[in-house]
Structure 1
Amino acid sequence: MISQFAPLRTTNAENLKRAAVGIILVAADDGSGETAFLLTVRSAKLRAHAGQYALPGGRSDLGEDALDTVIRECSEEIAIELSPDHALGTLDIYPTQSGYAITPVVFAITKDQDLCPNPNEVDQVFRIKLSDLSGERSAQFFSENEGGPCLLRFPIFDHYIHAPTAAILYQFIEFVAGRHQRVDDLSAPDFARR
């Protein structure tokens, strides 16, 4: 049970800007009955991380905790309404190379809601089945430079999901499989830090 997961708190989190993302579990939209999660493509208009795959979420406002941040951001980005009752728990805080400490919050919603991307923040939103990140589409580990940091990506469509999103999803998928995998040592490629 994810509520019993003991999230790892990064030692330098107090020196980083706080952010939160949601792993929003929903029914797949293909009639398979499988569980999916919501994945967005960030607007090409954004200054940072434009056009990248991301989980819904963002920087925490003053006085917000991770739960509040994800609820607000999901409403703003894709017009879905979450409540604290939908929250299942949190995963490890993920420190990014761009200066954020991201807290992933897992939510499950059973009532289907229309997804309406805010064009100022999100170009597209997808329901990705958890099973789509297994087999040929499972996690790929690599390094940009010999001896460099370990990077992680998931193939998706004709592109890749990179860390931090890939690292957070990897930890969740491992958790679902009954394995506790820490991911704070997995880095993002240079282009994904911008």
Structure 2
Amino acid sequence: MPPTLTEQSVRAALAGFARRAVDRPDLRAAAVAVTLACAGDGAVQVLLTRRAPRLRTHSGQWALPGGGVDDGESAPDAARRELAEELGLELPEAAVLGQLDDYATRSGFVITPVVLWAGPVSAGVSRPGARPLRPARGEVAAVYGIPLGQLDIDPIFLTIPESDAPVIQLPLMGRRVHAPTGAVLYQFREVALHGRATRVAHLEQPVFAWR
């Protein structure tokens, strides 16, 4: 069983984590939201999306809500804005628990993962005291709550002829989630669940995600 997570325990774990930024001015800054939400039974889950099939880039892929950082905008503000735009979930600044390492993608971005505490949420049937999820159907095909027990799993590492770096795959829901999403979730698992400062910036994406 994975350790029990609380808002306070995650905030403390991230406060003690020396995150690493990536200085790549040639790449566009982006942010993703690692959103912790409470299910109906109070269990903590991480919200993961499946991108809509008709999007111009990375259609149908597993993703964390996120996108480009606007001029004058911080990564936490961008993550909260994208979360509101994609899932209709509006969170205050106080919901930000911390940040993980930056990850430079093959498609031209430096992603900053921002960890947020959403508390109780509901999709479909409303629950008293729960924030509703309203996915933007033009961007999001489906939203999944990944229980910590499923997230607390060892990744698979593959070698490919196109790169010297290992490709990471995270087995989730009977599928395999690749970097950058798989790398971010793996580092969150290591830092927040086990207190290990595991680095993932060197892990490779599959070739299909290089575009």
- Per the normalisation by structure 2, the TM-score is 0.84
> How many residues are aligned here?
189
Please tell me whether residue 9 in structure 1 is matched to residue 21 in structure 2.
yes
Q: What is the rounded CA distance, in whole Å, between the counterparts of 1:96 and 1:132 in structure 2?
A: 25
Q: Paired residue for 2:39?
A: 28
Residue 113 of structure 1 and its aligned partner are, at CA, apart by: 1.6
Please say if 1:105 is aligned against 2:114: yes
Q: Quick check: 1:28–1:128 contact (8 Å CA) kept in 2?
A: no
Tell me the CA shift for residue 131 of structure 1: 1.4
User: Counterpart of 1:122 in structure 2: which amino acid?
Assistant: V
> In the alignment, is the contact (CA less than 8 A) between 2:168 and 2:182 conserved in 1?
yes
CA contact (8 A) 1:133 1:139 kept: no
TM-score, normalised to structure 1, is 0.91
Q: Distance in 2 between matches of 1:28 and 1:153?
A: 26
- Structure 2: tracts of 5 or more residues without a match: 1-11, 121-129
Residue 85 of structure 2: aligned partner: 76
**For the residues of structure 2 that align with 1:16 and 1:149, how far apart are their CA atoms?**
20
Alignment match of 2:48 (pick from 35, 39, 45): 39
SS in 2 for 1:105: strand
Indicate whether 1:156 and 2:172 are aligned.
yes
Higher mean C-alpha deviation, range 108-117 or range 160-169: 108-117
Alignment partner, residue 119 of structure 1 = 137
**How far off its partner does 1:147 sit?**
6.8
Give the match's secondary structure for 1:15.
coil
Residue in 1 aligned with 2:183? 167
144-153 or 59-68: bigger deviation: 144-153
Partners in 1 of 2:72 and 2:101 — Cα distance?
A: 20
> 1:89-136, CA deviations, whole angstroms, 9 ceiling, x for partnerless residues?
00111111111000000011224322111011110011101210234x
Q: Which residue of 2 aligns with 1:18?
A: 29
Sequence identity (%)? 41
Any residues of structure 2 matched to 1:133-148 within 5 Å, and which?
Answer: 133-135=151-153, 138-145=154-161, 148=164
Aligned residues of 2:152 and 2:189 also touching (Cα < 8 A)? no
Aligned to 2:204: 187
Structure 1 residues not aligned, in runs of 5+: none
Q: 8 Å contact 2:35–2:116 — kept in the other structure? A: yes
Structure 2 CA distance, aligned partners of 1:84 and 1:62? 18
Distance 2:80 2:35 in 1: 10
